[in-house]
């Protein structure tokens, strides 16, 4: 798994800093699996985080402190994640006899393969297995711009938190999926985290991320379409999008605007799948799992299922997590579950093998 530290550590809070809200998950390991210790969510005003970049660190650090205070979270060590343009994930093939040799060769290889200067990025890698060519190893190279990682760790330290792990949204999503669904090997799954401004796509098989891509489209686009099309404020458009009533609008008036954005999203997903089939694997995608708040947009699940002809399901990251009803309102947990997938995957980093 990708991250700054890999040692076993106790109690990390998974903290997902998104453009519409910050999400926190803390877990405990039990004999039967996991138990939810804490669940927090706090909204951010628009322009605080823009497409994965923290623009207003003070607002973010106050929101983090608020989540920790409101939910009485005691742990100060966090696992967080980055995504978007400043993260590059690339599969490469290398020849290396030992782990040490591999580690030594990575920066050189990264310099050759990435357009970025290696001194400007935080590098990490994971060996995927033997390559198709003799003596080679397939390696997943992950580079995050150093300034992006600092952008996150500084906001966290302003909030008095210590960043123990910096992961990538798409991989955290995969960790949450695997813990919740124990997917059978040799089946291909597409995981989509459709947030407010970014959609993370990760196509996985047998625990390996075969293909990842971040697309700049999400719930904000739907809200903007309603704002423009129906002449509404941001707040009214959000409310309408989530199934609420707005005085001047008949409910059926919104569908055409939502559908127009869903069509754009569908096209991006279709393009990604086509590219995956052309470059990586001809194997069909067996099922799509949708996470993120925008997974719940009216009609989206059906549209994807009908147009792509692949079964689509909303991802429940708490499927195998014990949630005490005295502590957490089950209806609320169920409502926010798809938005918690990345935070859940990050919280799982507490239990990394040493």
- The correct pick among 60, 140, 198, 232 for binding ligand ATP (CB under 6 A) is 198
Give one DSSP letter per residue of 134-201, joined into a string: TT-EEEEEEEEEHHHHHHHHHHHHHTT-EEEEEEEHHHHHHHHHHHHH-PPTT-EEEEEEE-SS-EEE
Query: Can residue 317 be called a binding residue for ligand ATP (CB under 6 A)?
Result: no
Query: Can residue 52 be called a binding residue for Mg ion (CB under 5 A)?
Result: no
- The correct pick among 195, 218, 317, 338 for binding Mg ion (CB under 5 A) is 195
Q: Which two structure tokens, joined as six digits, stand for 339?
A: 């938005």
Rounded distance, CA 142 to CA 150, Å? 16
Rounded distance, CA 96 to CA 101, Å? 6
- The correct pick among 3, 14, 18, 219 for binding Mg ion (CB under 5 A) is 18
Binding to Mg ion (CB under 5 A): which residues in 278-297?
none
- The correct pick among 197, 212, 227, 262 for binding ligand ATP (CB under 6 A) is 197
Query: Can residue 241 be called a binding residue for ligand ATP (CB under 6 A)?
Result: yes
Query: Can residue 14 be called a binding residue for Mg ion (CB under 5 A)?
Result: no
Query: Can residue 148 be called a binding residue for ligand ATP (CB under 6 A)?
Result: no
Among residues 139 and 300, whose Cβ is nearest to ligand ATP?
Answer: 300
Query: Can residue 297 be called a binding residue for ligand ATP (CB under 6 A)?
Result: yes
Among residues 33 and 243, whose Cβ is nearest to ligand ATP?
Answer: 243
Query: Can residue 21 be called a binding residue for ligand ATP (CB under 6 A)?
Result: yes
Among residues 167 and 238, whose Cβ is nearest to ligand ATP?
Answer: 238
- The correct pick among 294, 317, 321, 333 for binding ligand ATP (CB under 6 A) is 294
The backbone torsions φ and ψ at residue 155, rounded to the nearest 5 degrees and listed phi first, read -65, -40
Half-sphere exposure for 119 (CA within 13 Å, toward CB): 0
Among residues 96 and 269, whose Cβ is nearest to ligand ATP?
Answer: 269
Of 350, 341, 349, the residue nearest 170 (C-alpha): 341
Rounded distance, CA 123 to CA 201, Å? 21
Element (H, E) at 224: helix 219-230
Q: Which two structure tokens, joined as six digits, stand for 21?
A: 């809200």
Between the alpha carbon of residue 223 and those of residues 91, 302, 329, the distances in Å are 35, 20, 28
Contact footprint for Mg ion (CB under 5 A) = 18, 195
Contact footprint for ligand ATP (CB under 6 A) = 18-21, 195-198, 218-220, 238, 241-242, 292-294, 296-297, 339
């Amino acid at each position: 798994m990708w991250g700054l530290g890999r040692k076993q550590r106790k109690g990390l809070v998974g903290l997902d800093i998104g453009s519409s809200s910050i999400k926190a998950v803390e877990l405990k390991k039990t004999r039967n699996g996991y138990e939810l210790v804490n669940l927090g969510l706090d909204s951010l005003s628009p322009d605080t985080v823009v497409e994965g970049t923290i623009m207003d660190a003070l607002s973010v650090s106050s929101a983090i402190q608020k989540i920790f205070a409101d939910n009485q979270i005691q742990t100060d060590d966090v696992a967080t994640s980055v995504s978007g343009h400043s993260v590059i994930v690339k599969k490469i093939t290398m020849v290396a006899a030992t782990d040490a040799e591999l580690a030594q060769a990575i920066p050189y290889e990264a310099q050759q393969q990435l357009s970025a200067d290696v001194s400007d990025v935080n590098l990490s890698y994971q060996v995927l297995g033997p390559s198709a060519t003799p003596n080679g190893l397939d390696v997943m190279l992950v580079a995050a711009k150093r300034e992006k990682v600092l952008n996150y760790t500084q906001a966290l330290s302003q909030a008095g938190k210590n960043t123990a792990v910096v992961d990538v949204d798409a991989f955290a999503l995969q960790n949450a999926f695997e813990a919740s669904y124990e997917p059978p090997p040799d089946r291909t799954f597409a995981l989509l985290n459709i947030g407010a401004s970014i959609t993370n796509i990760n196509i996985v098989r047998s625990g390996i991320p075969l293909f990842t891509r971040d697309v700049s489209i999400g719930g904000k686009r739907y809200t903007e379409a309603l704002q423009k099309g129906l002449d509404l404020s941001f707040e009214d458009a959000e409310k309408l999008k989530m199934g609420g009533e707005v005085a001047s609008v008949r409910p059926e008036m919104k569908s055409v605007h939502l559908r127009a954005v869903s069509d754009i999203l569908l096209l991006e997903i279709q393009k990604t799948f086509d590219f995956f089939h052309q470059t990586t694997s001809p194997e069909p995608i067996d099922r799509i799992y949708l996470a993120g708040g925008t997974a719940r947009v009216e009609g989206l699940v059906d549209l994807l299922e009908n147009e792509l002809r692949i079964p689509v399901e909303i991802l429940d990251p708490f499927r195998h997590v014990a949630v005490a009803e005295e502590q957490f309102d089950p209806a609320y947990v169920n409502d926010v579950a798809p938005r918690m997938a990345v935070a859940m995957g990050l919280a799982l980093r507490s239990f990394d093998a040493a």
